[in-house]
Structure 1
């Protein structure tokens, strides 16, 4: 036992960080409970893209476990890494759904975005891009993605439906699926308001059980329907990515968007979490930050190989950090628990889309908090931010939200006589988006 503790001490520097093995293990368990909903939500979204659900379950778990273990052992951060909400929606509903590309091509785009992110990380270009994008647009991007995710959740649950006259309208709330989704939404939100750990996971399971009672979800007939020692088969998606197809379609349209969303989402999450874990010094510098960013980039490449959408650092790691997690032992515990969860793959397969829809809606609601940091008093800032936010759900595309926001910012600033506020990088990105729109029309 002493030898094991010495090994853990040497790897994770527990004493130096002011923590213990017991604290780190408890923190890891807490983060896992808070994050476990992704095991249910991500496969359902990937299945909408045509990926076999069993393979989607396996790829989600394997990619999360490997990327999180890498974060633990390489960066020594108490942060879990998993397929990102918003990025998975962009993957399934825009790249595959709207653009009608195969999921293999979409995985190729994920792979190339990981390579591009690595180049940005090693070349220092990452900092230049982040500095070039105004804070208003950075905040607006998160808000827009939140609305997009919530819209998908409302649509998948049947709470809102298509309407020829008004485009969208309220669905039949007396039907079992939308009714149960709404009940699940209320239950989960109430649990979150009471700060119950694992609220989203509990909400998903309660909604699924209610579905069984209503007869719209099959009731497990035995232990084999809940857990199995036969691991889910990842072979239908493992190394099935079509890199050439993604490259030929166009690097800017999808690869750039994957990269930019990952860039800002990951940077913001890492800064917030390391500050909460007191891993940031008085000068605002974070030890091993480059290693953490490299981990996300490598994790994205790995996730494409397994067959899932882009991975990113998860804000749910804050739950474990609040329990005292300060080192990679916390995230290594999370990785181990995800691997153990493989035996519960049959249970994941039972969970219906309307049970995971409330999670999408609530994650979207949480992302809306960033709107408090958007300034609408200056039209040259507020209008581009507004267009970024509104065009994501209304065009069913995160990429289009980026495009309208960047282009409008560049030209409104210039016409208003404030061209000096627009950096060269913003001009280059805006012109590239304009070129992309032109190519779509021709």
Structure 2
């Protein structure tokens, strides 16, 4: 039955290989359950509901990706989009998290529509590779900036806007220790390095009395499953529509689009699923699954779901089918029993994960040609404006608008498609309206 469902023989794999590949991916990705709820709680959501929503949407979306698409990849709320959700939409703009969930819902609908009729392919072709790479780098810097701020390494300053925090305090010390330990373990090839480092830091923090320790077994494991009722179905669709947050919905959609496309291409290549002519089987089906998962994330009560590059660890372990994803799904469901322990993990223990992920994402900067100023300047503006304005949307706007203007004004208008022109005009109108 498993062979017929997942085509194990066709992809030259076995149930045992798929199980251990799924376990490997689960260990590499489990840190998301500690990091994502912290950021959602900063948006004003219930910590318990945030933990439950993160686990449920990860488990459900990954399960259906495995069963319906037969890809060995895991889906979970994207940290870059959670940061945008919590710190810009709910923070800088001051919108209630229920309205932000409404925007996530609309972005899922837009993404679903884009997977039909070749629109998706047109947008992908229209955006230059330079800006695609710059978006990745900018989001990486934005995530790292949030991690450093959460750890207390950075703090607000009236004269310089940002300054070094008091690094003698426990939070920055533990955060930097966690970061160093994670890097050391990753360099040594230890699976689940991020998760192990978070666990070690949490134990040390408890031992030094810097964070609360469990007083009994009920503080570690509980059969009282955390309730998602505080966020389930709480999205404010009408509020999102009335506010007119076109740029926010567009940002959610665009980041989700490029993040998923890039990650899926990378993972399918690693899994040797790409045909000789370069075609990736069922790519459209995988993207459609991502769109439905995003709609589901808004309904459950968390930010946009995306494909995770950590799936590569399971693929390297031999995962080739959706059975790997199904194994990951059941692994996350098991975490529902450990919700009390998850709630005890201090924020500075998870901040290092954001810093590290930012460091990994910034490697895409090598793909940008800064010798051509009509490419390099828009890329730079995309990158720098995201962390400095605390907004991924602002980075998009400055990058897209400057790209079109510089190309047109230097007589290279043929390099700009009408799709890019329309998108840039929409961003310009939005900036004027916001001003």
TM-score, normalising length from structure 2? Answer: 0.99
How do residues 198-213 of structure 1 correspond to structure 2 at under 5 angstroms? 198-213=192-207
Q: C-alpha distance in 2, partners of 1:154/1:276?
A: 32
Which secondary structure does the structure 2 equivalent of 1:17 belong to?
A: coil
Given candidates 377, 389, 399, the residue that maps to 2:371 is 377
Given candidates 111, 126, 143, the residue that maps to 1:149 is 143
Provide the residue aligned with 1:324 in structure 2.
318
Query: Is the CA contact (8 Å cut-off) linking 1:176 and 1:214 kept in structure 2?
Result: no
Q: C-alpha distance in 1, partners of 2:153/2:201?
A: 15
How do residues 255-294 of structure 1 correspond to structure 2 at under 5 angstroms? 255-294=249-288
Superposition deviation, residue 162 in structure 1: 1.0
Provide the residue aligned with 1:359 in structure 2.
353
Given candidates 166, 170, 184, the residue that maps to 1:176 is 170
Superposition deviation, residue 344 in structure 1: 0.4
Superposition deviation, residue 203 in structure 1: 1.1
Residues 59-112 of structure 1: CA deviation (Å, up to 9, x unaligned): 000000110011001110000000001010000001100110000000011111
Q: C-alpha distance in 2, partners of 1:369/1:201?
A: 22
Q: C-alpha distance in 1, partners of 2:420/2:76?
A: 30
How do residues 117-196 of structure 1 correspond to structure 2 at under 5 angstroms? 117-196=111-190
Is 1:228 the counterpart of 2:225? The answer is no
Provide the residue aligned with 2:296 in structure 1.
302
Which secondary structure does the structure 2 equivalent of 1:67 belong to?
A: helix
Q: C-alpha distance in 1, partners of 2:73/2:244?
A: 33
Q: C-alpha distance in 1, partners of 2:88/2:105?
A: 17
Q: C-alpha distance in 1, partners of 2:119/2:58?
A: 27
Provide the residue aligned with 2:46 in structure 1.
52
Residues 138-168 of structure 1: CA deviation (Å, up to 9, x unaligned): 0000000000000000000001111112211
Residues 28-61 of structure 1: CA deviation (Å, up to 9, x unaligned): 0000000000000000010000000000000000
Is 1:8 the counterpart of 2:2? The answer is yes
Q: C-alpha distance in 2, partners of 1:411/1:308?
A: 37
Provide the residue aligned with 2:109 in structure 1.
115
How do residues 400-439 of structure 1 correspond to structure 2 at under 5 angstroms? 400-439=394-433
Residues 357-397 of structure 1: CA deviation (Å, up to 9, x unaligned): 00000000010111111110100000000000000000000
Given candidates 326, 329, 334, the residue that maps to 1:335 is 329
After TM superposition, what 4+ stretches of structure 1 lie above 3 angstroms from structure 2? none
Provide the residue aligned with 1:27 in structure 2.
21
Is 1:244 the counterpart of 2:238? The answer is yes
Q: C-alpha distance in 1, partners of 2:420/2:7?
A: 42
Provide the residue aligned with 1:4 in structure 2.
none
Given candidates 247, 251, 268, the residue that maps to 1:253 is 247
Query: Is the CA contact (8 Å cut-off) linking 1:28 and 1:331 kept in structure 2?
Result: yes
Q: C-alpha distance in 1, partners of 2:251/2:217?
A: 43
Q: C-alpha distance in 1, partners of 2:279/2:399?
A: 30
Superposition deviation, residue 123 in structure 1: 2.4
Provide the residue aligned with 1:98 in structure 2.
92
Which secondary structure does the structure 2 equivalent of 1:233 belong to?
A: coil
Query: Is the CA contact (8 Å cut-off) linking 1:252 and 1:432 kept in structure 2?
Result: no
* Pairs aligned (count): 435
User: Gapped runs of 5+ residues in structure 1?
Assistant: 1-6
Residues 231-286 of structure 1: CA deviation (Å, up to 9, x unaligned): 00100000000111112222422111100000000000000000000010111111
Residues 311-344 of structure 1: CA deviation (Å, up to 9, x unaligned): 0000000000000000000000000110111000
Name the Cα RMSD after superposition. Answer: 0.7
Q: C-alpha distance in 2, partners of 1:391/1:138?
A: 15
Query: Is the CA contact (8 Å cut-off) linking 1:78 and 1:325 kept in structure 2?
Result: yes
